[in-house]
Amino acid sequence: MYAVILAGGGGTRLWPLSRRAKPKPFLPLLGEESLFQLTLRRIEPLVPAEDVFVVADERHRDVVADQAPQLGDRHLLGEPFARNTAAAVALAALTVSRVDDDVMVVLPADHYITDPAGLRDCLTVAAEAARDGSLVVLGITPTGPETGYGYVTGADVDESPSKVRRVAQFVEKPERERARELLSSPPGAWWNAGIFVWRRDAVLDGLERHAPGLVSTLRRGLEAGEPLAAIYERLPEVSIDRALLEPASLEDRVRVVPADVGWSDLGSWNALQAALAQRSQSADGVVAVGRAEDIGSSGILVHSSAGRLVVTVGLSDTIVVDTPDVVLVCAADQAQEVRTIVDRLAQAKEIDHL
Amino acid sequence: MYAVILAGGGGTRLWPLSRRAKPKPFLPLLGEESLFQLTLRRIEPLVPAEDVFVVADERHRDVVADQAPQLGDRHLLGEPFARNTAAAVALAALTVSRVDDDVMVVLPADHYITDPAGLRDCLTVAAEAARDGSLVVLGITPTGPETGYGYVTGADVDESPSKVRRVAQFVEKPERERARELLSSPPGAWWNAGIFVWRRDAVLDGLERHAPGLVSTLRRGLEAGEPLAAIYERLPEVSIDRALLEPASLEDRVRVVPADVGWSDLGSWNALQAALAQRSQSADGVVAVGRAEDIGSSGILVHSSAGRLVVTVGLSDTIVVDTPDVVLVCAADQAQEVRTIVDRLAQAKEIDHL
């Protein structure tokens, strides 16, 4: 078994902490280690460092080397720029030299999981299920009808909860009502968290059948020694879900392993607030990272990473983020607007702050 | 006429902007000039620089010299430490060499007035009223039954609104109900804003009668060439209101000149927010000083004085203050708690931030 960690996420919604120079995977959002480092540590008992490969933006090579000195330089597959997950997975499948029936585990570098042992158990079950050439997805137990995630639905009604299931379909970011339906109809549905387990030949064969242009362009360019930036320019920008898993599910090639492992994508300040509140078991709902003083607030997250003292008084449901050059103060229920601010700064060419 | 500007206010409630090293009077809270500089400019047409004296903490001598180069060094009466306003006024009355019937105008250095010409008119009326030895107080037209101010009440019912009135009594920081009574009972009441006009001999005679220990201690120490710090140690810490005006009012020696001049003490972040909102005529109630971006907030004040970008999203009635070492985010209706934070930091010996 070998692991391919996808560390190309931008984490725009965690601005101003997440920046182009050091985006979300490389930030110690929950403590001393970055999400990338936590991801490595999580799979370490299952996949030793010599079998771990990281796909990340070439610009972050130094950050990866700093944070994971145990990985050799060859273990970083640097992308010239992000081209979504199908390109990243294909790059790893083509360039990491392994035998065909080796099992590849694909893991995002910027998620959080409270039960690492549970995750490893699920990955072991998934690796077994992948032996026959199936494409296996870990299915996160949903906590509600979220509209921001992709769902996979089971094909069979009469299976036991822990069993590997056949996948009927993928549903990308459904409306609220549809999400409710998915959750309530047997045999249930799970969130697709981008954690995949498959044989190297299964993913390459599948990509060649369902996304032939992508694989052939990449393969020929690499064989011709063309610069990766020139090859990447010609690749379609598509997710591995859409390029491979959706069409393969119609051919009954996809399986799901239910995974109740305390997963969070930490996809917004709200999600980080929830994860930190759970960890700290804060009674008054005041969660702080860094130097902070509070009087009488509730439901707040204070994140101070620039050494300054952040003082909060009488706030409710508010997020305060202090960085060396930007301070963000945001109503918790408006956290999705952070993206709007980032867009506005990009348009105004305020790139120092991005 | 000569002016004594009291610039010893600490402005703790405007922390973290107001600090021990550079407190409220010396901050450009409303724009480019500090409140101290605005005070000088306000009285300039009435009192030229050679007749202006400043009582301030000796530690702020350089700040005063920087901000008011037109004042000679002798025009700063440096206090070794603050000993309330009776000591400051007595120091000025004893050390500024003027003839006895010269009229002294006492002005706080940290208030804001939207109608400077109106103020000068009131001071001219008050100077006339002070000729006979009366102690004259400017009475600010109250905007509501505030409990944080001292009130003066008129003694006569049948006077015209603009007339100089005899003062019946001083009421220091009344309860809300009592404040309502004061405002509704004829002949009315005004806020005592600490703006006083009186002959030099009148204030000295009054202090000698009502606070004899204070004047004699100060006079003898000064005559003996004792260090001011040693003298100040022995002075009572009392306001000029309590030491002089309250007892003198019982002897019918105090007059009030009503002054409807757009006064604010800028005594808290709320007061600054109100003053800035009025100046900017902000429709959405978003008032910003410095670099700020907002999406969808209302009733907020953003004060950024450290060059950082402050981004606010979806906030209501909130104050955000960014300084080089401290960020404050405070519910507008909890702004009085800022003092609690300052006390807490002082107890924790976090003096860097004070």
- pLDDT above 90: percentage of residues in chain B: 84
Q: Do B314 and A337 touch (CB under 8 A)?
A: yes
Residues of chain A with pLDDT under 50: none
Residue of A nearest to B344 (CA): A293
Sheet containing strand B326-331, strands side by side: A292-295, A309-313, B326-331, B316-322, B298-304, B286-289
| Residue B31 pLDDT grade (very low, low, confident, very high; cuts 50, 70, 90) | confident
**Which letter does DSSP use for residue A333 in this model?**
G
| Residue B161: predicted pLDDT | 57
HEC secondary structure over A263-325: EECCCCHHHHHHHHHHHHCCCCCEEEECCEEEECCECEEEEECCCCEEEEECCECEEEEECCC
Query: pLDDT at residue B91 above 80?
Result: yes
C-alpha span between A68 and B334 (Å, rounded):
46
Report which of residues B9 and A18 the model is more confident about: A18
Q: Closest approach of chain A CAs to the CA of B318, in angstroms?
A: 8
Q: At A202, which helix (H) or strand (E)?
A: helix A200-210
Q: Do B296 and A334 touch (CB under 8 A)?
A: yes
| Residue A101: predicted pLDDT | 82
Q: How far is CA B168 from CA A178, B202, B245, B248, in A?
A: 75, 19, 11, 10
Q: Do B341 and A295 touch (CB under 8 A)?
A: yes
Q: Do B309 and A327 touch (CB under 8 A)?
A: yes
B310, B290 contact by CB (below 8 A): yes
C-alpha span between B115 and B259 (Å, rounded):
10
- Considering only the beta carbons, identify the residue of B325, B333, B341 that sits closest to A293: B341
B304, B322 contact by CB (below 8 A): yes
C-alpha span between A323 and A308 (Å, rounded):
9
Query: Taking CB atoms and an 8 Å cutoff, what residues of chain B touch A320?
Result: 327, 329
Q: Do A313 and B350 touch (CB under 8 A)?
A: no
Task: Mutation target for B interface from A289, A301, A327, A337: give the one with most B CBs within 10 A.
Answer: A327
Q: How far is CA B213 from CA B80, B228, B231, in A?
A: 19, 16, 12
Taking only the tens place, the pLDDT of each residue in B157-198 is 666 655 899 999 999 999 999 999 999 988 889 999 999 999
Residue of B nearest to A322 (CA): B327
Q: Do A315 and B314 touch (CB under 8 A)?
A: no
Q: How far is CA B289 from CA A37, B25, B83, in A?
A: 40, 17, 33
| Residue A159: predicted pLDDT | 60
C-alpha span between A323 and B86 (Å, rounded):
45
Q: Closest approach of chain A CAs to the CA of B36, in angstroms?
A: 28
Q: Do A344 and B320 touch (CB under 8 A)?
A: no
Q: What's the predicted TM-score (pTM) here?
A: 0.87
Q: Is B341 on the interface with A (CB under 8 A)?
A: yes
- Length of chain A equals 354
B196, B135 contact by CB (below 8 A): yes
Q: What domains does chain B contain, in order, with CATH numbers?
A: 2-264 (3.90.550.10), 269-353 (no CATH)
Residues 13-72 of A with CB under 8 A from B: 16
Query: Taking CB atoms and an 8 Å cutoff, what residues of chain B touch A333?
Result: 314
Which of A285-289, B27-31, B238-242 has the largest mean confidence? Answer: B238-242
Model ipTM? Answer: 0.87
Q: Do B314 and A330 touch (CB under 8 A)?
A: yes
- CA B137 vs. chain centroid, Å, equals 13
HEC secondary structure over B59-112: HHHHHHHHHCCCCCHHHEEEECCCCHHHHHHHHHHHHCCCCCCCEEEEEECCCE
Q: Do A327 and B314 touch (CB under 8 A)?
A: no
C-alpha span between A278 and A271 (Å, rounded):
11
Q: What are the φ and ψ backbone dihedral angles of B142, each rounded to 5 degrees?
A: -70, 145
| Residue B37: predicted pLDDT | 97
| Residue A161: predicted pLDDT | 57
Burial B260-281 (b: 16+ CB within 10 A, else e): ebbbbbbbbbbbbbbbbbeeee
| Residue A188: predicted pLDDT | 85
A335, A13 contact by CB (below 8 A): yes
B300, B320 contact by CB (below 8 A): yes
Q: How many CA atoms lie within 13 A of A348 on its CB side?
A: 11
Residue of B nearest to A291 (CA): B326
C-alpha span between B105 and B117 (Å, rounded):
16
**Helix A200-210 with A84-95: angle, nearest 10 deg:** 130
Q: Is A126 on the interface with B (CB under 8 A)?
A: no
Q: Closest approach of chain B CAs to the CA of A314, in angstroms?
A: 5
B293, A344 contact by CB (below 8 A): yes
Q: Closest approach of chain B CAs to the CA of A24, in angstroms?
A: 19
**Helix B84-95 with B200-210: angle, nearest 10 deg:** 130
| Residue A9: predicted pLDDT | 81
| Residue B253 pLDDT grade (very low, low, confident, very high; cuts 50, 70, 90) | very high
| Residue A163: predicted pLDDT | 81
A44 three-state secondary structure: coil
Taking only the tens place, the pLDDT of each residue in B41-83 is 999 999 999 999 999 999 999 999 999 999 999 999 999 999 9
C-alpha span between B317 and B299 (Å, rounded):
4
| Residue A224: predicted pLDDT | 96
| Residue A138: predicted pLDDT | 97
Q: How far is CA A306 from CA A84, A323, B215, in A?
A: 32, 5, 51
C-alpha span between B56 and B20 (Å, rounded):
12
C-alpha span between B252 and B255 (Å, rounded):
8
B203 three-state secondary structure: helix
Q: Do A327 and B308 touch (CB under 8 A)?
A: yes
* Cis status of the peptide bond prior to A187, with omega within 30 of 0: yes
Q: At B209, which helix (H) or strand (E)?
A: helix B200-210
A50 three-state secondary structure: helix
C-alpha span between B23 and B15 (Å, rounded):
9
- Considering only the beta carbons, identify the residue of B295, B328, B331 that sits closest to A311: B328
Beta bridge partners of B303: B289, B321
Q: Is B346 on the interface with A (CB under 8 A)?
A: no
Q: Is B180 on the interface with A (CB under 8 A)?
A: no
Q: What are the φ and ψ backbone dihedral angles of B193, each rounded to 5 degrees?
A: -95, 10
Residue of B nearest to A352 (CA): B309
Beta bridge partners of A331: A318
- Torsion, CA A27, CA A29, CA A32, CA A36, rounded to 10: -50
B187 three-state secondary structure: coil
Q: Do B341 and A313 touch (CB under 8 A)?
A: yes
Q: Do B330 and A309 touch (CB under 8 A)?
A: no
C-alpha span between B135 and B129 (Å, rounded):
8
Q: Is A350 on the interface with B (CB under 8 A)?
A: yes
- Considering only the beta carbons, identify the residue of B313, B340, B341 that sits closest to A338: B313
A259, A141 contact by CB (below 8 A): yes
Mean pLDDT of chain B: 93
Q: Closest approach of chain B CAs to the CA of A252, in angstroms?
A: 46
Size of interface A-B (CB pairs under 8 A): 113
C-alpha span between A180 and B60 (Å, rounded):
66
Q: Do B16 and A311 touch (CB under 8 A)?
A: yes
Q: Do B333 and A314 touch (CB under 8 A)?
A: yes
Beta bridge partners of B112: B264
Q: How many CA atoms lie within 13 A of B45 on its CB side?
A: 9
C-alpha span between B300 and A217 (Å, rounded):
54
C-alpha span between B159 and A150 (Å, rounded):
78
Quote the tokens at residue B62: 């350089």
Nearest to A287 by CA among A260, A320, A261, A259: A320
Q: Closest approach of chain B CAs to the CA of A329, in angstroms?
A: 5
